[in-house]
Chains A and B, each alone.
Chain A
């Protein structure tokens, strides 16, 4: 059964149709990449799925339920975590504090005005685990805003993981990263997918990353879904090649 399904999803900003009638299903445990030239509507598509904006028409279904009308925080509370193209973290808190808040919210404690010793140590253990997983243990006490770009991205992914999500949406996780950092993040995503069977949808420009990770690839162009298939099918698809050849600079950058 598919964990995430969108049906006829569309969004217009004035006369601009950013996303046009996209239908797509992501199976549980799948790693799906969403690619497309600049301005193809990938981030708008993500914003529609995660509830950052409302669709003009169409619907979003998560785990069998229609969540089209749900606010973003409710989708997160149901197990849909996301990262952003421009890193969104808590810059003046330490990495450990960033994660602590996420772990506490995930544990359903967000309205708790106090926490006993047992509760606090359970939270601390949860934070430790995520720090290890994201390879941030050595930076736990650093202010998140003072970390290198790659570590800030890793902190954001770690916060998303701290929610113990059933679906992880990653918007260009390797954007602006060097070779080493890209490799580290790719390995992390691969581990999450292979070892934890986490369902992941990611937008990515780096084609090596996409073809290395993805089970299936969806291609958006000018707001429409022009292809959806295995990496081999997508590589051989003439419509995809045309979309990318129309923007040679994009293909070169990737």
Chain B
């Protein structure tokens, strides 16, 4: 409820109960487990973007770059390094996170539309690299020939490859780790400085906060989290393709965050759920599914300018 992203306990329990039970209630309403997994992965991606957009006040329009790098990193690791799921996730997360941090350092002095434009450019650079470097990335056809590997956990052997249910819970576990880390960061003194920058950069500066340094750290963390989501996405599909890096996906992620409510910690997850479910359902009826999403987005922005979960803390005076 608070601007720091604190959600009241009963709401929090309801969210986690719904996520834990999703494989059981999804079929009752016409869904399936893999759809739930997709919502978790894209929801984590949108929440990672929103760490920057909603809680630092910095708009990146090229976050698919880091998502896609995470996906390619995980795929390449499985294909060429070792048949290990944790290693793939680590490699993907570091690939996107480190490149994001390095390139982010170049642009933290830019703000607003200039920042957003440069992030799009970064995304397209990686898109074309993936598109053209056939020998490594498979080019236009995407990266194939790898599969997520079962997890050996002491005496247990968790077959996330063949059991969609086991994979869902594996993704939910990863989601919980990342989301928990984000929530703790936002509550911390460091998180407070990010809210300060979002609210009033000038005031933040004159409180003694080096704004560029803090924006850079927030950007790097956001890249790290979204690369992790990208790695999970590659595991989900056993496939990575250049569209994972394309700016249209960056735009989709922004839509998810804004539609769900970017001032609300959980908003982007709801946005991702609406987006993914609508995409799944409407695309079975018509190829023009995106126009329905577009229409819904316009309606949400018109009637709930703060997103579906943003009404709770709307300002009385416009």
A115 to B315, CA, bound (A): 30
Whether A88 contacts B189 by the Cβ 8 Å rule is no
Q: Bound state CA distance, A84 and B317, in angstroms?
A: 23
Contacting pair B4 A113 (CB below 8 A): no
When distances are taken between beta carbons in the complex, the residues of chain B under 8 Å from A93 are 3, 195, 199
Q: How far is the CB of A52 from chain B (nearest CB, A)?
A: 8
Contact residues of B between 181 and 235, Cβ < 8 Å to A: 184-185, 188-190, 192-193, 195-196, 199-200, 202-203, 205-211, 214, 217
Residues of A within 8 A of B287 (CB): none
Q: Which of B271-304 contact A (CB under 8 A)?
A: none
B221 to chain A minimum Cβ distance, whole angstroms, is 9
Query: Closest CB of chain A to B301's CB: distance in Å?
Result: 19
Taking A90-B196, A90-B200, A105-B208 as known contacts, 14 extra A-B pairs with beta carbons closer than 8 A to each other, sorted by chain A number, are A52-B206, A73-B210, A73-B211, A81-B206, A88-B202, A89-B203, A91-B200, A92-B263, A97-B192, A105-B209, A111-B217, A112-B188, A115-B188, A159-B203
Q: Would you list which residues of chain B between 1 and 43 have a CB under 8 Å from chain A?
A: 2-4
Interface residues of A in 186-244 (CB under 8 A from B): none
Q: Are A97 and B2 in contact (CB under 8 A)?
A: yes
Across-interface contacts of B189 in A (CB, < 8 A): 101, 104-105, 109-112, 115, 123
Number of B residues near A (Cβ < 8 Å) is 29
Complex interface: chain B residues within 8 A of A95 (CB)? none
For chain A, residues 158 to 186, give those with C-beta under 8 angstroms from any C-beta of chain B. Answer: 159, 163
Chain B residues whose CB sits within 8 angstroms of the CB of A73 once the complex forms: 205-211
- B193, B206, B214 — which one has the most chain A CB atoms within 10 A of its CB? B206
**A145 CB-CB contact with B under 8 Å:** yes
**CA gap between A97 and B190 in the complex, in Å:** 13
Contact A76 B190 (CB under 8 A): no
Query: What is the minimal beta-carbon distance from A47 to any residue of chain B, in angstroms?
Result: 11
Q: Given the complex, which residues of B lie within 8 Å of A146, measured CB to CB?
A: 315-317
Contact check, A101 vs B208: say whether CB atoms are below 8 A apart: no
CA distance A111 to B203 in the complex (A): 17
Interface presence of A13 (CB below 8 A): no
Q: Which one of A71, A77, A90 has the greatest number of beta carbons of chain B within 10 Å?
A: A90
